[in-house]
Structure 1
Amino acid sequence: MASSLTKDTAVQGNSPVPGGKTFFGHPRGLAPLFLTEMWERFSYYGMRALLVVYLIAGGPDAKPDSQGGGLAMPEASSVAIYSAYVGMVYLLAMPGGWFGDRVWGPRKTVAIAAGIIMAGHLALAVPGKPTFFAGLALVAIGSGLLKANISTMVGHLYDGPQDPRRDGGFTIFYIGVNVGAFAAPLVIGTVGQKVNWHLGFSIAALGMGLGLIIFLLGTRHLSPVSSVVPKPLTAEERKSTLVKALLWFAVAAAFYGVVAGTGHFTQKWATIPLALLGVAIPIAVLTRIKRDKELTAGEQTKVSGYIWFFVAAAVFWMIFDQAGSTMSTFAEKKTADNVFGIDFPSTWFQSVNPLWVMAIAPIFASMWLWLARRDREPSTTVKFSMAMVGIGASFFVFAIPMSMASDGTKVTPAWLLMIYMIQTMGELCLSPVGLSLTTKMAPQKYASQMMGVWFLAVTAGDCTMTLLTEGGVDLNGTGVILAQAAAATLAGFAVWMYRKRIEGLMGDVR
Structure 2
Amino acid sequence: MASSLTKGAAQQEKTSPVSGGKTFLGHPRGLAPLFMTEMWERFSYYGMRALLVVYLIAGGPDAKPDSQGGGLAMPEASSVAIYSVYVAMVYLLAMPGGWFGDRVWGPRKTVAIAAGVIMAGHLTLAVPGKPTFFAGLALVAIGSGLLKANISTMVGHLYDGPQDPRRDGGFTIFYIGVNTGAFAAPLVIGTVGQKVNWHLGFAIAAVGMGLGLLFFLWGTRHLSPQSSVVPKPLTAAERKSTLMKVALWLAVAVAFYGIVGGTGHFTQKWATIPLALVGLIVPITVLTRIKRDKDLTANEQTKVSGYIWFFVAAAVFWMIFDQAGSTMSTFAEKKTTDNVFGIGFPSTWFQSVNPLWVMAIAPIFASMWLMLARRDREPSTTVKFSMAMVIIGASFFVFAIPMAMASDGTKVTPAWLLMIYGIQTMGELCLSPVGLSLTTKMAPQKYASQMMGVWFLAVTAGDCTMSLLTEAGVDLNGSAVILGQAAAATLAGFAVWMSRKRIEGLMGDVR
TM-score range, shorter chain: over 0.9
> What's 1:391 paired with?
392
Q: Which ranges in structure 1 are unaligned for 5 or more consecutive residues?
A: none
Cα distance per residue 1:375-415 (max 9 Å; x no partner): 00000000000000000000000000000000000000000
Supply the distance in 2 between the matched residues of 1:396 and 1:185 (Cα, whole angstroms). 26
Shift of 1:17: 4.2
1:38 touches 1:177 (CA, 8 Å); kept in 2? yes
1:7 touches 1:152 (CA, 8 Å); kept in 2? no
Shift of 1:18: 2.4
Relative distance call for 1:8 and 1:46 in structure 2 (3 A) is closer
Supply the distance in 1 between the matched residues of 2:200 and 2:47 (Cα, whole angstroms). 12
Cα distance per residue 1:420-457 (max 9 Å; x no partner): 00000000000000000000000000000000000000
Relative distance call for 1:10 and 1:124 in structure 2 (3 A) is closer
SS of the residue 1:159 aligns to: coil
Name the count of aligned residue pairs.
509
Q: RMSD of aligned C-alpha atoms?
A: 1.0
Supply the distance in 1 between the matched residues of 2:450 and 2:384 (Cα, whole angstroms). 24
> What's 1:436 paired with?
437
- Tell me, yes or no, if structure 1 residue 278 matches structure 2 residue 279: yes
Which runs of structure 1 show a deviation greater than 6 angstroms over 4 or more consecutive aligned residues?
9-12
1:392 touches 1:487 (CA, 8 Å); kept in 2? yes
1:3 touches 1:174 (CA, 8 Å); kept in 2? no
Supply the distance in 1 between the matched residues of 2:296 and 2:24 (Cα, whole angstroms). 41
> What's 2:101 paired with?
100
Cα distance per residue 1:254-274 (max 9 Å; x no partner): 000000000000000000000
> What's 2:250 paired with?
249
- Tell me, yes or no, if structure 1 residue 72 matches structure 2 residue 73: yes
Supply the distance in 1 between the matched residues of 2:265 and 2:425 (Cα, whole angstroms). 42
Cα distance per residue 1:333-358 (max 9 Å; x no partner): 00000100100000000000000000
Shift of 1:20: 1.2
Relative distance call for 1:331 and 1:108 in structure 2 (3 A) is same
Relative distance call for 1:17 and 1:120 in structure 2 (3 A) is closer
Cα distance per residue 1:70-124 (max 9 Å; x no partner): 0000000000000000000000000000000000000000000000000000000
Cα distance per residue 1:463-482 (max 9 Å; x no partner): 00000000000000000000
SS of the residue 1:177 aligns to: helix
TM-score (norm 2): 0.99
SS of the residue 1:101 aligns to: helix
Supply the distance in 2 between the matched residues of 1:31 and 1:385 (Cα, whole angstroms). 36
2:18 touches 2:223 (CA, 8 Å); kept in 1? no
Relative distance call for 1:28 and 1:70 in structure 2 (3 A) is same
Supply the distance in 1 between the matched residues of 2:64 and 2:16 (Cα, whole angstroms). 53
Shift of 1:15: 3.1
Supply the distance in 2 between the matched residues of 1:54 and 1:313 (Cα, whole angstroms). 29
1:6 touches 1:152 (CA, 8 Å); kept in 2? no
SS of the residue 1:277 aligns to: helix
1:57 touches 1:68 (CA, 8 Å); kept in 2? yes
Q: Percent identity?
A: 91
Relative distance call for 1:463 and 1:195 in structure 2 (3 A) is same
Relative distance call for 1:97 and 1:7 in structure 2 (3 A) is farther
Shift of 1:6: 5.1
SS of the residue 2:65 aligns to: coil
Supply the distance in 2 between the matched residues of 1:323 and 1:51 (Cα, whole angstroms). 12
2:114 touches 2:146 (CA, 8 Å); kept in 1? yes
Supply the distance in 2 between the matched residues of 1:80 and 1:202 (Cα, whole angstroms). 24
2:11 touches 2:162 (CA, 8 Å); kept in 1? no
Relative distance call for 1:10 and 1:173 in structure 2 (3 A) is closer
Relative distance call for 1:124 and 1:257 in structure 2 (3 A) is same
Supply the distance in 2 between the matched residues of 1:156 and 1:68 (Cα, whole angstroms). 47
Shift of 1:11: 10
> What's 2:353 paired with?
352
Shift of 1:9: 6.8
Supply the distance in 1 between the matched residues of 2:118 and 2:436 (Cα, whole angstroms). 25
Supply the distance in 1 between the matched residues of 2:280 and 2:172 (Cα, whole angstroms). 31
Supply the distance in 2 between the matched residues of 1:71 and 1:340 (Cα, whole angstroms). 33
TM-score (norm 1): 0.99
1:7 touches 1:148 (CA, 8 Å); kept in 2? no
SS of the residue 1:231 aligns to: coil
Cα distance per residue 1:20-78 (max 9 Å; x no partner): 11000000000000000000000000000000000000000000000000000000000
SS of the residue 2:438 aligns to: helix
> What's 2:163 paired with?
162
Q: Which ranges in structure 2 are unaligned for 5 or more consecutive residues?
A: none
Shift of 1:3: 4.0
- Tell me, yes or no, if structure 1 residue 332 matches structure 2 residue 333: yes
Supply the distance in 2 between the matched residues of 1:294 and 1:8 (Cα, whole angstroms). 25
1:352 touches 1:420 (CA, 8 Å); kept in 2? yes
Shift of 1:8: 4.9
Relative distance call for 1:231 and 1:473 in structure 2 (3 A) is same
2:7 touches 2:437 (CA, 8 Å); kept in 1? no
Cα distance per residue 1:192-235 (max 9 Å; x no partner): 00000000000000000000000001000000000000000011
1:124 touches 1:198 (CA, 8 Å); kept in 2? yes
Supply the distance in 1 between the matched residues of 2:50 and 2:95 (Cα, whole angstroms). 25
